[in-house]
A = this chain, B = another copy of it.
Amino acid sequence: MSYSSRVHDILQRAGAAEGDTLLVRSEGRDSTGVLMPHHDFSHPDVVVLKLKSGYNVGVMVTPTSEVRVVSKSEVREKRPKAAVNGKGKKEVAVLGTGGTIASFVDYRTGAVHPALSAGDLVATVPEIADVCDVRAEVLFSIFSENMNVEHWQRIAEAAADRINSGMEGCIVPHGTDTMGYTSAALSFMLDNLTRSVVLVGAQRSSDRPSSDAYTNLLSAARFVVDTDAAEVVVLMHETSSDTAAAVHRGTKVRKMHTSRRDAFHSINVSPIARLDFEGSIEFLSSYRRRSEGKVTARTEMETNVALLYFYPGMSPAAFERVLNDSRGVVFAGTGLGHVSSDMVKAIRRAVDGGTSVVMTSQCLNGMVDLNVYDNGRDLVTAGVMPGGDMLPETAYVKLMWVLGQTSDPKKVREMMATDLRGELTGRREVA
């Protein structure tokens, strides 16, 4: 939107427009790719080219740079204007929330900013118009570590509204850091879900080489439109190579690597599906099917809930306030769900005082079982609820949601022990 006058002039002289394939010779290096839309926060001297591989690269245009149009936009020549926008195809809502997928490198500072609008984001994937008619909007734009209950509520309400008004489903571009928490929250909040809500992220920003934003976004659109699923899922790269996406159930997914593109894994279950970037879609487990009717967003949540990670030497005194002043506490205990005998006593006092306590395992894989060892049985006696094979993060979100729905302790216990959204599989693995 705001190139420098130098870049503006060079592009104009070359007769280059967005969507054209350009060769840019700059600082002795040639780059060939499709000219992408410019956005405000980029350096005004940088043009972004989508390479043949699907990756984007930013090229600094210097006074000595040369730009040549290799070919005019194929899309514009081949298809009527309407099809470019996916007109006539099924409508899919893209609800922007921020994150790396909607961010780009500021070439002045090297920093990553979360400022690409949902529309700009979708514009980096022109092929999406072959799949659906995108209705992009920005709900908000934040780093996902700043997400909280209010953000979850806004996404859930928007998703329910767009689906109820006839859209084919929702794509939610989201920062990867807390995507698993948000997907769990949407899973519990969206009742009678009739279409899919796909959270999608990127481990590399969309204007960098090796960005996974492009393939993940396109795959998300395909999952929404081309399958009969009605699930809250996370869709990310299946492996570190650029071949397929894995679709994970919203309550069973966890970010398991800080930087790899295949960071997301389903824990204790198979992914729901696998989408080959060549076009095939394979379901790997059972899933909820589309239906008619109205989606309800039941977004009430208790925010006074804590997640505590147990470790040897953990001082009950230091955590007294958290334990006693919270409405709910989820522990990630050791092994089958253990904490020290000291902590058992502190937990007993908290439960007696009205705190709902749930035990999960920091092993992440496998089920808690509080009936094997003395310490576990003491926890049961103290009134602690076993979390089955729930992820600690999912148990935290579920407890917030359950305490938002009811304040009856018996009902809380019952709901925590019931599989509501595929979060409790109860599969017991002995190996």
Contacts and interface: CB of A to CB of B under 8 A. Distances in A.
Contacts of A368: 258
Given A258-B369, A334-B145, A375-B143, A318 B322 contact: yes
Q: How large is the interface on A (under 10, 10 to 19, 20 to 34, 35 or more residues)?
A: 35 or more
B261 A431 contact: yes
A431 B262 contact: yes
A256 interface: yes
Interface string A333-347: 111111111000000
B336 A259 contact: yes
A177 B145 contact: no
B262 A341 contact: no
A263 B338 contact: no
A314 to B, nearest CB: 7
A428 to B, nearest CB: 8
Given A313-B148, A400-B313, A260 B366 contact: yes
A373 B112 contact: yes
A263 B143 contact: no
A111 to B, nearest CB: 7
A149 interface: yes
Contact of A326 (B318, B364, B396): B318
A392 B304 CA distance: 25
A306 interface: yes
A176 interface: yes
A429 interface: yes
Contact of A313 (B240, B303, B364, B373): B303
Contacts of A334: 144-145, 177-178, 255
A178 B334 CA distance: 7
A78 interface: no
Given A260-B429, A306-B318, A318-B321, A338 B143 contact: yes
Nearest to A368: B258
9 nearest A-B pairs in the assembled complex, by CB-CB distance: A258-B366, A240-B431, A177-B334, A177-B335, A309-B309, A145-B338, A257-B365, A260-B431, A257-B366
30 contacts: A111-B373, A112-B372, A145-B312, A145-B339, A145-B375, A146-B340, A148-B340, A149-B313, A175-B335, A176-B335, A177-B334, A178-B312, A181-B312, A256-B364, A257-B429, A258-B336, A258-B363, A258-B365, A259-B336, A259-B367, A259-B369, A259-B429, A260-B429, A262-B431, A263-B366, A306-B315, A307-B314, A309-B309, A311-B393, A313-B400
